Amino acid sequence: MEAPVSESVPGTVATNRNDRTIRILLVAFAVLAAVTAVLLATDPDRGPIGQAGLVFYPVAAVGHLVLARYHGRSWVRPVLVATEVTLVPLQFLLSIPSNLPLLGMLLSGVIVALLRPHFAQLSPRIRKYFLWLHVGLSVSWLGLSMAMLVLSLTGQFTSDRALSHDAYRIMHLFDLVIVIPVVFLSIISGLVVSLGTKWGLVRNKWVLTKFLLSLIIPSVAGFQHHWISELSDRMAAGSTAEPGTLGLVLTLCMAAYGVILWTTTALSIWKPWGKTRWGRRATESRRAGRTPARRTPAPVPARD
């Protein structure tokens, strides 16, 4: 007699592959956190935010190794979801003294997407407050992007060196005082609105695309406060340097940010492309659970 051949369930295979990917990303984050901590420790000008990162990243490295070791246990998933959702915007703030947290932010974003978290839905009243906050912050982010593009164009192409210097100084001020808080709060409110409503984070293609696009901008923009500071120094009084290639790259990046933010605005309005495979799977599961059991019709009594 032949031994029965065991057939693997496609969903189980996909889940195992997903778990392995998450475990690899957790280890990668731990390595990145350790490297970031070492670099911050050797930086004498790390400042208060860098000092906070020096305390945070060794703890994050050990914590992610522990989570990778025990990933698959029932208690790990809620801890991991809460941790990575918090780390996405937090690392954007920690990127001021060092750019490595920007890579960590991307890793956390991918881990969140792979975890496909489910949260209790917000009440209609609370949802409206968060939606109002998110829409206002998103519009502010778009407006600031357009303003930064105008300032960058001014600094790059004006023949007035004093005006160019002032344009880059204002950009630097905007970047630290206004842009970073708005981006931080926009990502936070977006996560709340998506995870706390029917849309979810990975159920619909337009939501997932918007989330990933929103992470691209701060991941690149973290480098730019150094660029803007350098351009401001180049155009200071007594200097003969020009913005050059660095100023042009900055202007192109600002233009690209505008395109990305207009794209995310369009996605929010038209909501294209339908559901992801995870969203389709969840819908099919709900429908299967609601399908009533088929009842056998009662026999019709024969007539004499």
The string of pLDDT tens digits covering residues 193-229 is 998 888 888 899 999 999 999 988 888 887 788 899 8
3-state secondary structure of 88: helix
Asked if residues 143 and 151 have their Cβ atoms less than 8 Å apart, the reply is no
Token pair of 20 as six digits: 């392995």
CB pairs under 8 A, 24+ apart, for 267-270?
267/206, 267/209, 267/210, 268/138, 268/206, 268/210, 270/206
| Cα–Cα nearest to 213, from 176, 263, 280, 178 | 263
pLDDT in the model for residue 2:
47
The least confident of 120-129, 191-200, 242-251, 295-304 is 295-304
Write the burial class of residue 11 (CB in 10 Å: 0-12 exposed, 13-18 middle, 19+ buried): exposed
Considering the domain architecture, whether residues 247 and 134 belong to the same structural domain is answered as: yes
* 1 in a structural domain: no
3-state secondary structure of 243: coil
Instruction: Tokens for 148, please give them.
Output: 């930064």
248: pLDDT confidence band, cut at 50, 70 and 90?
very high
Q: What are phi and psi of 187, to 5 degrees?
A: -65, -45
User: What span, in angstroms and rounded, lies between the C-alpha atoms of 288 and 109?
Assistant: 31
Residue 235 sits in the same domain as residue 144: yes
Domain identity same for 180 and 209? yes
Domain boundary among 82, 117, 152: 117
How many structural domains are present in the chain? Answer: 2
Answer yes or no: is pLDDT of 56 > 90.
yes
* pLDDT band, residue 1 (cuts 50/70/90): very low
Q: Are residues 75 and 205 in the same domain?
A: no
Same structural domain for residues 30 and 171?
no
Looking at the domain assignment, is residue 214 inside a domain? yes
Query: What is the mean pLDDT of the segment spanning 239-265?
Result: 93
Backbone angles phi, psi at 275, to 5 degrees: -90, 155
Residue 290 lies in a domain: no
Torsion angles phi and psi, residue 209, rounded to 5: -65, -45
CB < 8 Å & 24+ apart, contacts of 244-248: 247/152, 247/155, 247/156, 248/156
pTM exceeds 0.85, yes or no: no
55 part of a folded domain? yes
Q: Which of 98, 117, 136 is the last residue of a domain?
A: 117
Looking at the predicted structure, is the pLDDT value of residue 48 above 60? Answer: yes
The answer on 198 and 75 residing in a single domain is: no
Residue 303, domain member (yes or no): no
Q: pLDDT value at position 6?
A: 44
Q: What is the mean pLDDT of the chain?
A: 86
In 2-158, the DSSP E strands lie at none
Indicate if 133 and 267 belong to the same structural domain: yes
d(CA 167, CA 194): 37
| Same-domain pairing of 128 and 253 | yes
Cβ atoms of 64 and 12 within 8 Å: the answer is no
pLDDT recorded at residue 100: 82
Question: Residue 180: which domain range?
Answer: 118-277
Same domain, yes or no, for 29 and 97? yes
Q: Identify the domain boundary among 92, 117, 142.
A: 117
Residue 8 clears pLDDT 50, i.e. is over it: no
**Rounded distance between C-alpha atoms, residue 105 and residue 155, angstroms:** 30
pLDDT in the model for residue 122 = 87
- Residues 6 or more apart from 119 whose CB is under 8 A from it? 195, 196
Q: Is residue 6 part of a domain?
A: no
Amino acid, res. 114: L
Using one digit for the tens of pLDDT, what is the confidence trace for 109-152?
889 888 888 777 889 899 999 999 999 999 999 999 999 999 99
Q: By C-alpha distance, which of 55, 59, 75, 60 is closest to 29?
A: 60
Between CA 87 and CA 187 the distance in angstroms is 11
DSSP structural state of residue 196: T
- Same domain, residue pair 87 and 223: no
Q: Is residue 8, in this structure, part of any structural domain at all?
A: no
pLDDT at position 199 is 87
For residues 52 and 71, membership in a common domain is answered with yes
